Structure 1
């Protein structure tokens, strides 16, 4: 059975990530494991080692009580002394064959540095759960780049389709697919292009692929504009519970970003987001 890596939330205001992660694991037929992190900067003395053990023991008792209240005592809990939780999560999930990480996030315009670091370095898909009211929706929206000719992005489209279909089937949600024809704002403002014609041409250009999806026309959305803004508006209009999107992780000096479009979307999105990295 595949495994699901649940990161215990560090902020009290976040959604109940553990309960939702366990529920998601059950729906997706995955084995959930919870990882709780603690760390304090203490002097390197014998007392330090004793304090570390006491803190770990206290955290383990807290987690045992929490899991008991949830009725999930059978779910394995790993309490780890580690300063940088994302570094541990990325390495451990890859080395131990987890195929999904679940983490809570604050309101999207206040994503924490740990969220960004996780998305920029993860080797497996990451599900970010939000406490925003829109997560009470019922749809799954897939963001595809149908115009790409790059092999890695074509593979990413396939993974988005595969995982999006699995998520929709497991949660009993309606599947929607979106493709955004990127048109700069200055071009839109000057009205030098016929947007309806661009949309019509995009449908014609990708007709075979769209037919192969087996979806009704109401479930396919081709829109002209800025991808981040269009996807944000579309998730709100459809009341999507999940957005499934890809993220191009870059190497070297550009490794600190996951792609301008992906980062712009995550700054504003108000639903749960499944981010699939190019390295997954």
Structure 2
């Protein structure tokens, strides 16, 4: 009996001492979760994390603006649809690098800390938020460039975490999917300034998108990234029928957005 009690006590002590995986709400409150903590989250928890970051601490820095990371939400929604992003996978580590960069950028911009956790995206996200707050990113071209540069740095850090720190390589499909995301960020960085003459400023108020490019690259909208990720992944798998259906779904979503903007209620 004494030996059984000792064994039970040892098990309870081990459970108490074991580090718990950080939850989304805890990370939003403390802004101190690392990429390793985020890797331990489920995709559903990461969605909650991003939404709470935008609604809470990011809004402390830039009040009155639409959420800045809805397109990241769209990608996470896609991961949930396809069962991707489990802890310890290449997708998970890369995504954790992105979300860590966002979190640390908010902490820097809010003045909570000066620690980037070694994530090169963090100071770029901080600069993005403070410039947005100060009215320096009112045009779409300059806004999208700043956003893309911050996500690019965070994403590349996530790739380093996956491949060089944890030794997890992308599958051929994941690598092709990643190249689609690279093209998306390149498009954001290279948006012609002349298009800003046709597009409302980035800020509170009317956010109507006038062209497919405006709609597809709107970081405050999760639908284009959600539908576009499905299309990109099926193309990466060389799934022609699936890609065709995804293409139709993507443009149906765009048509619905146009109808909502331009047709009378």
Q: Which category of TM-score, normalised to the shorter sequence, fits these structures?
A: under 0.3
Structure with greater strand percent:
1
TM-score (normalizing by structure 1): 0.24
TM-score where L is the length of structure 2: 0.25
Tell me which protein shows more helix as a share of its residues: 2
